[in-house]
Structure 1
Amino acid sequence: MEFSENDTYKTISSASEEVLYKEKNSKFFGYAFPVSNEEEIKEHLDRLRKEHFSARHWCYAYQIGTEKIQYRANDDGEPNNSAGMPIYGQIQSFEVTNVMVVVVRYFGGVKLGVGGLISAYKTAAQMALENSEIVEQTINKFFTISFEYVHLNKVMRIIKEKNLQIVSQKMEMDCEIQISIRKKNVQNLLDTFENLYEIKLTEV
């Protein structure tokens, strides 16, 4: 099992401040949120729809995942690919993941045309991401160590030596400890447990 060395990704540390971009009387409010699942995405959208209930469009794009990427771009009634994709383009350009960017548009009475819309949505998304703190995170893998209680000291010693992070533990006659480890250190961990037949290591 070979793992590549690339085990970091960029995301944003917290929700951005609201930004405003104006174009020919139309107002574009931009927001960036850190997200890790579709439930959080829906919550942010529901909240913004309530907050901006008189707006015309709530366009957004998101990307979730580090190795398996899941993304979506939504034009919410704007001409095809004039809103969601320009927003998604900015997520790609900032090279961030686990991020959602929403741009809320209030129509100002003057049509912008597709080119104008693309430019406005792109700019509002860019402003929202520029307004966010971008941080680097490590890609972690999760494993469960299963063993009988008599081997507890041995397991604990390995956890300490390898600087493994304990996520949860169940200590009975049969013990289970769930640990988190940086992706690039996985091979080393597998090698350590390879000859310890009384201790089982399984990826979660």
Structure 2
Amino acid sequence: MTEPPYFTVAGPADAIGQVDVKRSRFLAVVRRVDTEDAARALLAELRREHHDARHHCSAFILGPRAETMRSNDDGEPSGTAGAPMLDVLRGAELSDVATVVVRWFGGTLLGAGGLVRAYGDAVASALESATVIRREQRTLSRVSLPHADAGRVEAELRARGIAVLETEYAAQATLLLATSDLADAEAAVAASTAGSAHVEPSGTQWVDVRAGR
């Protein structure tokens, strides 16, 4: 049985937003990431790029079930930066996503409530320009065919709504298929080859299936 779908943001371009509060500037960057190292790389990149800023606060969520969540206030009062940033990502029901908010201090203290709003609003502003992607876990299978039949069968499978992820050429052509259920691949291959070819299960894989929810 496959896992339920989840949502992330499209890449490779970052989503960017900004808010200004009492001369303090809050620049938010949201990026799709697959690992903690990638999330930390975003933070390191923005620290280098905006080394003149006072704070570089961060948050990220990873995994199909949002198994990993982290946030950091980077010197702001505890709970006023990273936590509200994380709350915005969670509220948008996103995973495999990281955000960093760079703050240039404007000389006026904003108080805990002001900081919470500013950091959260900055991330929300960035998400307004993001494209949300639905990810689904698909069942993988392989079908081997004579080279002469591969192009026709691949075209017919695609016409039937079967995702062909790649084609390998060796003694025979092997198509890697992604379907919601193995039975879908079996039925489509049987119809396209008059029952002469068979599928072999090949595990599962998360794939981007469409933009939006």
TM-score range, shorter-chain basis? Answer: 0.7 to 0.9
Q: Distance in 1 between the 2:161 and 2:59 partners?
A: 37
Q: Deviations over 1:79-111 (max 9, x none)?
A: 322211100111122233333221111233444
1:203 equivalent to 2:200? Answer: no
How high is the TM-score relative to the length of structure 1? 0.73
Q: Deviations over 1:151-192 (max 9, x none)?
A: x769758734643222223222365432333xxx22543664
- Assess, with a 3 A threshold, how the Cα gap between structure 1 residues 201 and 158 changes in structure 2: closer, same or farther: farther
1:135 to 132, 136, 156: 132
Contact persistence 1:64–1:98 (CA under 8 A) = yes
1:124 to 114, 122, 125: 122
- Assess, with a 3 A threshold, how the Cα gap between structure 1 residues 196 and 89 changes in structure 2: closer, same or farther: farther
Q: Distance in 2 between the 1:30 and 1:161 partners?
A: 42
Q: Distance in 1 between the 2:93 and 2:178 partners?
A: 25
Contact persistence 1:66–1:139 (CA under 8 A) = no
Unaligned runs of 5+ in 1: none
1:171 to 169, 172, 196: 169
- Assess, with a 3 A threshold, how the Cα gap between structure 1 residues 141 and 99 changes in structure 2: closer, same or farther: same
Secondary structure of the 1:44 match is helix
1:203 shift after superposition: 0.9
2:142 to 126, 141, 145: 145
1:77 shift after superposition: 2.6
Secondary structure of the 1:82 match is coil
Q: How many residues align?
A: 197
Unaligned runs of 5+ in 2: 190-194, 205-213
- Assess, with a 3 A threshold, how the Cα gap between structure 1 residues 136 and 18 changes in structure 2: closer, same or farther: closer
Q: Distance in 1 between the 2:26 and 2:123 partners?
A: 9
Q: Distance in 1 between the 2:36 and 2:86 partners?
A: 16
How high is the TM-score relative to the length of structure 2? 0.70
1:83 to 77, 81, 84: 81
Contact persistence 2:18–2:25 (CA under 8 A) = no
